[in-house]
Chains A and B, each alone.
Chain A
Amino acid sequence: MNPNYELDPDEVAYNFGFLDEFAKREVRRAILKAIAIPGYQTPYASREMPMGRGFGTGGLQLTLALVGPDDRLKVIDQGSDDSVNAVNLRRFIELTCPGVDTTEATREATLIQSRHRIPEHPLGEDQVLVLQVPYPDPLVLVEPSERKRKAMHGEGDYSRLLTRLYEDIVQFEEITIAHRYPTRIAAHYVIDPSPIPRYDVPRLHHSPALILLGAGRERKIYAVPPYTDAVPLAFDDVPFRVEAFLDPDGVRRPCARCGATDTYLDEFLDAAGAKVYQCSDSHCCNERCLSGQQEGAR
């Protein structure tokens, strides 16, 4: 490196929130447009981030453009606050945004960045949920040409997505899309709600919290504004259903840790090779375990 271009170590400093102010302003403008046109994929100039595309650069840019010193931030990956991606993103934000508090409690957070899950605890009006999105366009599965996809979005022509549902029902007698369920926002644009499971799709409908979705690699931002219709695509006589988590006897499986029967469950194998079901939202599960213990102690 040219020595003249190297700054003294104490002069090297990031701008608050890593991105420069112009980049943040650009992202905020895209956010405003996305809120103004619910479900519309707003293009923006996705910046290079100090991490690979596909590790949540879109969500991170949204978070960095929104976060201020008064915010309390929660970062989740796969429902957990302690998975690798969540820990690293949280550490990066702590490093580049001095003064920002981080928390694991859904209730206390003002800004939540997530991938895969919407927290079990209902969000409030004073909260913003940022989702990391790998593929923003639901039509990409059925139409390779972007020009044609734009026309289809403009005309609200989603017949080919419904044809996919038809094919699914023909083959499996039910709709088997487990995540990225195409959802119609405010009766026009259909969005791909990031990799959240089917279970979380009803939470988009009339959510009090603002939900922002950012795709860094695909350079798109879109939004589900508060109290907006979000209706999953389905047929009149084959309605949308969420995962039931039934055991072979038709009984709802409980969480192996906290015993909850109203949460989204992850399936994994224990040391003996048996299937175990456990809450995907680790904070919610921990809280319930704790309150269960307290009740037991009384």
Chain B
Amino acid sequence: MRTILEVAGLSKIYGHGCPLCAEATGPDRDTNLCRHCGSVVAALDVDLRLHEGEILGIMGESGSGKSTLVRLLYFDEPPSRGTATWHDPALPPVDLFTLDAARQRRLRNHKFGMVYQNPHLGLNFNVSAGGNIAERLLMSDLANYGEIRGRARELLARTEVQLERMDESPRTFSGGMQQRVQIAKALATRPALLLLDEVTTGLDLSVQARILDLILEIQQELRTAMVVVTHDLGVIRLLAGRTIVMKYGRVIESGLTDQVLEDPQHAYTQRLVASSL
């Protein structure tokens, strides 16, 4: 399979950082706060590889740096160091973090999609659900009203949002519906990579199941590569082919999902799997 994203040595340190940060934090030290300089080590030397059409799960407790990781990849924040090589079949490989702001924005608008846990971050509540999707299409230089409207309707129908409510603000929608609008918005430009940050957290079980079904269907239909961040083992088991487990900003275990969940090697993963059963 073709690799589309290759992340190497990706780190994010909030604060000044010092040479002792790496040593003073981590799962062994049971903290991510460096006692020498007071910096928070949110992610340190994360390596990962994503193939075309694959779903990669990132699992870990809160504060383990899993959300930071996808935020870095979506250019929400700059990393402290590290590289992320993007392989586009039509272009030579590029390091995402060395691109200028305009080209980062272009990639973000055309090639990447993001679904946040909190719909407020992904949606603009001052415009209608259809307008949210139109906004993303307009960013990618589509300038025909009829076409935009048609695409928005198509996407909302695909994600099972009632079309009669297309011209209402997502503010009036239920949590599950807001999440579906967010997914429709993220898919508007047919991105090659979709980042999902705790999409089902806070939704009730039946709504969760329908959203997960939707994600799987989309993955099979469009062959979109996805990074799924969650602390829910059920979501990982259902969606992800490969999984990495993070704790205190480090990757402590990685491999095929079945392997990680059935035969965990690291003590923390063992506890995590045991506690969920």
State the A residues within 8 Å of B (CB).
151, 154-155, 157, 159-160, 162-164, 166-167, 169-171, 235-238
Contact between A167 and B131, CB atoms less than 8 A apart: yes
Q: How far is the CA of A169 from the CA of B149 in the complex (A)?
A: 10
In the bound complex, residues from chain A placing their C-beta under 8 Å from that of B138 are: 159, 162-163, 166
Which positions 133-176 of chain B face chain A at CB distance < 8 Å?
A: 134-136, 138-139, 143-149, 167
Contacts of A167 in B (CB 8 A): 127-128, 131
Q: How far is the CB of B173 from chain A (nearest CB, A)?
A: 17
Contacts of A164 in B (CB 8 A): 127
A163: chain B residues at CB < 8 Å are 124, 127, 131, 134-135, 138
Query: Which A residues lie within 8 Å of B124 (CB)?
Result: 163
Q: Which residues from chain B contact A154 at a C-beta distance below 8 Å?
A: 102
> A237 touches which one: B101, B131, B136, B146 (CB < 8 A)?
B146
B167 with A166: CB separation less than 8 A:
no
A238 and B145 contact, CB distance less than 8 A: yes
A166 x B131 contact (CB < 8 A): yes
Residue pair A157, B127 in contact (C-beta under 8 Å): no
- CB of B101 within 8 A of CB of A236, answer no
CB-contact partner of A236 in B130, B131, B145, under 8 A: B145
Supposing A155-B101, A155-B102, A157-B105 touch, asked if A166 and B148 sit within 8 A by C-beta, the answer is: yes
Point out residues on B near A: beta carbons under 8 Å: 101-102, 105, 124, 127-128, 130-131, 134-136, 138-139, 143-149, 167
Residue picked from A154, A160, A164, A238, most chain B C-beta under 10 Å: A160
Closest to B148 in A: A166
B144–A236 CB distance below 8 A? yes
A169 to B105, CA, bound (A): 27
Q: List the 6 shortest-distance A-B pairs measured between CB atoms, nearest first.
A: A159-B138, A235-B145, A159-B139, A163-B135, A236-B144, A166-B134
Q: CA of A210 to CA of B144 in the docked complex: distance in angstroms?
A: 33
Name which of B130, B143, B145 has the most chain A CB atoms within 10 A of its CB: B145
A169 proximity list for chain B (CB < 8 A): 145
- The residue on A at minimum CB distance from B135 is A163
B12 to chain A, nearest CB (A): 22
Q: How far is the CA of A166 from the CA of B147 in the complex (A)?
A: 12
Known: A151-B101, A157-B105, A166-B148. A236 touches B134 (CB 8 A): no
Beta-carbon nearest neighbor of A170 in chain B: B167
**Smallest CB separation, B125 vs chain A (Å):** 13
Residues of B within 8 A of A236 (CB): 143-145
* Listed A/B pairs (17) with beta-carbon separation below 8 Å: A155-B105, A159-B135, A162-B134, A162-B143, A163-B135, A166-B130, A166-B131, A166-B138, A166-B149, A167-B127, A170-B130, A170-B131, A235-B143, A235-B144, A235-B148, A236-B143, A237-B146
| Supplied contacts A162-B138, A166-B130, 14 more A-B pairs, CB within 8 Å | A157-B105, A159-B136, A160-B135, A163-B127, A163-B131, A166-B131, A166-B145, A166-B148, A167-B127, A169-B145, A237-B144, A237-B145, A237-B146, A238-B145
Give complex CA distance A238, B124 in Å: 24
| A52 to B128 alpha-carbon distance, docked (Å) | 38
Question: How far apart are the CA atoms of A162 and B136 in the complex, in Å?
Answer: 11
A237 CA to B149 CA, complexed, in Å:
12
- Chain A residue contacts of B149, Cβ below 8 A: 166, 170
A171 to B169 alpha-carbon distance, docked (Å)? 12
- Which residues on the B side are within 8 Å of A237 (C-beta)? 144-147
Q: Is the CB of A157 within 8 A of B130?
A: no
Chain A, residue nearest B136 (CB): A159
Contact residues in B for A160 (Cβ distance below 8 Å): 135
Residues of B contacting A162 with CB < 8 Å? 134, 138, 143
Task: Determine the distance from Cα of A155 to Cα of B131 in the docked complex, in whole angstroms.
Answer: 21
Closest approach, in angstroms, between the C-beta of A185 and any C-beta of chain B?
Answer: 18
Of B101, B130, B134, which is in contact with the most chain A CB atoms at under 10 Å from its CB? B134
Q: In chain B, what residue has the closest Cβ to A163?
A: B135
Minimal beta-carbon separation of A154 from chain B (angstroms): 8
Hey, which chain A residues are within 8 Å of B167, CB to CB? Answer: 170-171
Closest to A171 in B: B167
Contact across chains for B135 and A170 when beta carbons are under 8 A apart: no
Q: Shortest CB–CB separation between residue A168 and chain B, in angstroms?
A: 10
Q: Are B139 and A170 in contact, CB atoms less than 8 angstroms apart? A: no
Chain A residues with CB under 8 A of B139: 157, 159
**CB of B71, distance to nearest CB on chain A (Å):** 17
CB closest chain-A residue, reference B138: A159
- Give Cα A163 to B146, complex, Å: 13
Which chain A residues border B102 with CB–CB below 8 Å? 154-155
Q: Please, how many angstroms separate the alpha-carbon atoms of A237 and B148 in the complex? A: 11
Across the interface, name the chain B residue whose C-beta is closest to A152: B105
User: Which chain B residue has the least Cβ–Cβ distance from A155?
Assistant: B102
